[in-house]
Chains A and B, each alone.
Chain A
């Protein structure tokens, strides 16, 4: 069998203040190149922490206490210890609230150019060109003008597009998305999901999409994991989990969404 792009085995996360309690317990999953995986669950289920553990962006005071993480076969976490930070460059993160994730004092073009330059070592001029390409790629019109905008001059949807461009500027093989569409209206939400889908497909980038919105996840992800109270309680192909959930909790999530959708389909 081929080595998976990402492999997580027995991951445990705990708070340094209260090491006896696992915030995330015994999570294992793997991801093939170009695959799409959704992680759903309610607030506090540990889905965001799991995602952050992959990229080394855990909140202060929370640490990996056990488990192994491999990216492209190289260990980045071994027996609970972070041993290789460089490999994390393969991952890039898209956050829920784009306003908090962008530097308010930096023009979008300059921000993207810097990310590209740091990751590629290209010249400033080449990085500037690449920034314009990235803005164009995420579907923002009037690229040259948009490159001069500060975050507050962009709408919520455009900010999220810039965040996506910033993530792609790293040339990642895995895109980690933490509720990227929760703060957006339905029209913009659908546009962003479609954009993530098409850009990652074209570039064979794998996606992990964390959300409490089961519908959005089912539109994007081939496979799905359900988390509850820090544990991964159900997983499988999205269609089989939705059509034939094994756990009571998963059924409840599906039923709540079906109730809202009603007979209108």
Chain B
């Protein structure tokens, strides 16, 4: 099966420094792939190369078998969408949830005016928000609700791939799991493909099929999510996993 996205021997240079080095990565449709690594390992750069925000210096980036270069078609740009870390920053504070989604639906999907209200409600339904949120401004929403709106906005244009860069890092633990469940649900119901970038290894394991471990611009391991935790292959993978803080039920000695 042709992967949805295929990254082949891809490198990114910035001045003299190699930010990404010989990355090879295939992503199949309707899967969630995690990218983990410490700060500065190149996770976010990889995301930005895929979304087209950063140019690559060598290698290939294939989307459904076709080369994705700096001049992407409108269609290709629509198919790859981004969800950012901080929903407090990524949403325009002056535009209501309804207007934000309606604008995308009319302009990108060509939804007719008389169908707009229903389509906006359907979109909000996908992320488990009621139509009551249509007149709300981002400032009136909680962090979790805002991240749901940000996901709805990405879904408004019918993307095939969501690139999510630390989408749950700014959320509290109890809200975090509900957003993670939402990604899984969207994968299973819409066949959505997700590249999930995070330094939160427990979140990544919870939500992903496969996990890629990065270190200093290189991809040092790719493993099944559960398997990475029980049998990490790379020393970076072992290090990251052994450093995960766990609930300590025994008290401090």
Interface residues of A (CB under 8 A from B): 36, 42-43, 155-157, 182, 184-190, 193, 212-216, 218-222, 237-239, 242-243, 252-254, 256-262, 264-265
Q: How far is the CB of A244 from chain B (nearest CB, A)?
A: 10
- Across the interface, which residues of B come within 8 angstroms of A42, CB to CB? 172, 174-175
Chain A neighbourhood of B177, CB < 8 A: 256, 259-260
Q: Name the distance in Å between B88's Cβ and chain A's nearest Cβ.
A: 10
Number of interface residues of B (CB under 8 A): 33
A185 touches B38 (CB 8 A): yes
Least CB distance, B185 to chain A, in whole angstroms: 15
Q: Which label, helix, strand, loop or mixed, suits the secondary structure of the A interface?
A: helix
Chain B contact residues: helix, strand, loop or mixed: loop
Bound Cα distance from A211 to B173, whole angstroms: 11
How far is B229's CA from A239's CA once the two chains are assembled, in angstroms?
A: 26
B147 to chain A, nearest CB (A): 12
Distance in angstroms between the alpha carbons of A190 and B203 in the assembled complex = 17
A237 and B243: CB pair below 8 A? no
3 smallest CB-CB distances across A and B, nearest first, come from A239-B251, A260-B202, A215-B245
Give a binary string over B141-173; 1 marks a CB under 8 Å from any A CB, 0 the rest. 001000000000000000000000000010011
B230 at interface, CB cutoff 8 A: yes
Q: In the complex, what distance in Å separates the CA atom of A221 from the CA atom of B253?
A: 10
Cα–Cα, bound, A243→B38 (Å): 32
Query: Do B172 and A186 have beta carbons less than 8 Å apart?
Result: no
Does B205 count as interface, using CB distance less than 8 angstroms? yes
Please give the distance in Å from B177's CB to the nearest CB on chain A.
5
- Known contacts: A185-B38, A239-B250. The answer to whether A256 contacts B174 by CB under 8 A is yes
Q: Known contacts being A42-B174, A187-B239, is A261 close to B246, with CB within 8 Å?
A: yes
Contact of B40 with A by CB under 8 A: yes
Q: Does B14 lie at the interface of the complex (its beta carbon under 8 Å from any beta carbon of A)?
A: no
Most buried by B among A188, A243, A261: A261
Separation of A190 and B229 alpha carbons in the complex (Å): 18
Query: Given the known A-B contacts A42-B175, A212-B173, A220-B252, are A261 and B247 also in contact in the complex, defined by CB atoms under 8 Å?
Result: yes
